[in-house]
Amino acid sequence: MKKILVTGALGQIGSELVTALRETYGTDNVIATDIRSTEAEKEKGPFEVLDVTDADAMFAIAKKYNVDTMMHLAALLSATAEKAPKKAWDLNMGGLVNALEVSRELNLQFFTPSSIGAFGPDTPKDNTPQDTIQRPTTMYGVNKVAGELLCDYYFHRFGLDTRGVRFPGLISYVTPPGGGTTDYAVEIYYEAVKSKAYTSYIGKGTYMDMMYMPDAIRAIITLMEADGSKLKHHNAFNISAISAAPEDFEKAIQKHIPEFKLSYDVDPARQKIADSWPNGIDSTCAAEEWGFKAEYDIDKMTKDMLEKIAAK
């Protein structure tokens, strides 16, 4: 039976991943950790406060619970990282090296996400291949490319079973994202329900890969359960479900809220980041090597998002 340590467990991905892992493997087999704690979290299952830049603390928690799997999610996202690049480097890379070292010392199976942010302006923008040029122009992207290479290194050098995916922008209604470039694609649904109007900081015609959180969570668990001998790539699998621009969300929302109005007030900083990323990536390797398949297109996601937010 798996015993899993999750870092960044209170984040947009972590909060839903912990719930899904506990349903799959049992509450007591999933140790949630984050830089802060809440009483509510402690009541849901094993929880520890952990600053991922503290290697000794991370090792102690992994040892205390005798885990066999590490899912490392704690990181600063793209827009925040551009405002504080040195802090982002220290947290994103320091935390990752600690998680890899603890995993190596205790021989844990390892997961950490990369992102479409690992691509840059020179990367082919459409049907972006699994293996292609990666010269990102953001600190977040530099962190993600370095992270991909580090995870490959730990696999080849130490035989550590490292696995990961390049996530698109993730859309969810449980825990809001913080400091991302794709956050507009979450905000738009909340504002559609609340005020039937939204002003997008990303401009019309800006295509980016997106995915509904249920598809993302299923992808993590499917990849980690896959037969490792069948994986040609181990880390940084391209996965996507939707390639969309703000006007595509507007159209999908108007099928449910006809009076919904989308306007634009472009934020140059986040637009610059978005413009450096692909329009749509190719997920063939993930499909062939471990059976990745997204179930939510923009219409199915929009229906569920609006219903769930209205019910909150």
What track of x and - describes contact with ligand VAH for positions 56 through 75 (by CB under 6 A)?
--------------------
Q: Which member of 67, 70, 77, 213 binds ligand VAH (CB under 6 A)?
A: 77
Interface mask toward ligand VAH for 80-119; x: CB under 6 A: -----------------------------------xxx--
Instruction: State which H helix or E strand residue 70 sits in.
Output: strand 69-72
Rounded least distance, CB 168 to ligand VAH, Å: 5
Question: Which residues are part of the catalytic machinery?
Answer: 140
Sheet with 30-34, strands from edge to edge, namely 47-49, 30-34, 4-7, 69-72, 109-111, 162-163
Residue nearest to ligand VAH (CB): 180
- Nearer to ligand VAH among residue 62 and residue 208 (C-beta): 208
Q: How far apart are CA 77 and CA 80, in angstroms?
A: 6
| Nearest approach, Cβ of residue 29 and ligand VAH (Å) | 28
Mapped onto helix, strand or coil, the DSSP state of residue 290 is helix
Per-residue binder mask for ligand VAH (CB under 6 A), 141-180, x = binder: --------------------------xxxx------x--x
Among 98, 112, 162, 182, binds ligand VAH (CB under 6 A): 182
DSSP line for 247-265: HHHHHHHHTT-TT-EEEE-
**H/E element holding 311?**
helix 298-311
Least separation in angstroms between CB 167 and ligand VAH:
6
CA distance 225 to 88: 31
Q: How far is CA 237 from CA 190, 245, 283, 292, 304, in A?
A: 30, 23, 8, 10, 26
Residues that bind ligand VAH (rule: CB under 6 A) add up to a total of 14
What is the Rg, in whole angstroms, of the alpha carbon atoms belonging to the chain?
A: 19
Nearest to ligand VAH of 14, 169 (CB atom): 169
Q: How far apart are CA 148 and CA 138, in angstroms?
A: 15
Name the residue among 15, 68, 69 with its Cα closest to residue 44: 15
Within positions 4 to 43, which residues make up the interface with ligand VAH, using CB under 6 A? none
Q: Hey, what are 285's tokens?
A: 């390797």
Measured from the CB atom, is 29 or 235 closer to ligand VAH? 235
Cβ closer to ligand VAH: 6 or 202?
202
- Pick the closer one to ligand VAH by CB: 69 or 172: 172
- Shortest Cβ 190–ligand VAH spacing (Å): 16
| Half-sphere exposure at residue 311, Cβ-oriented, CA atoms within 13 angstroms | 8
Binding site for ligand VAH (CB under 6 A): 77-78, 115-117, 140, 167-170, 177, 180-182
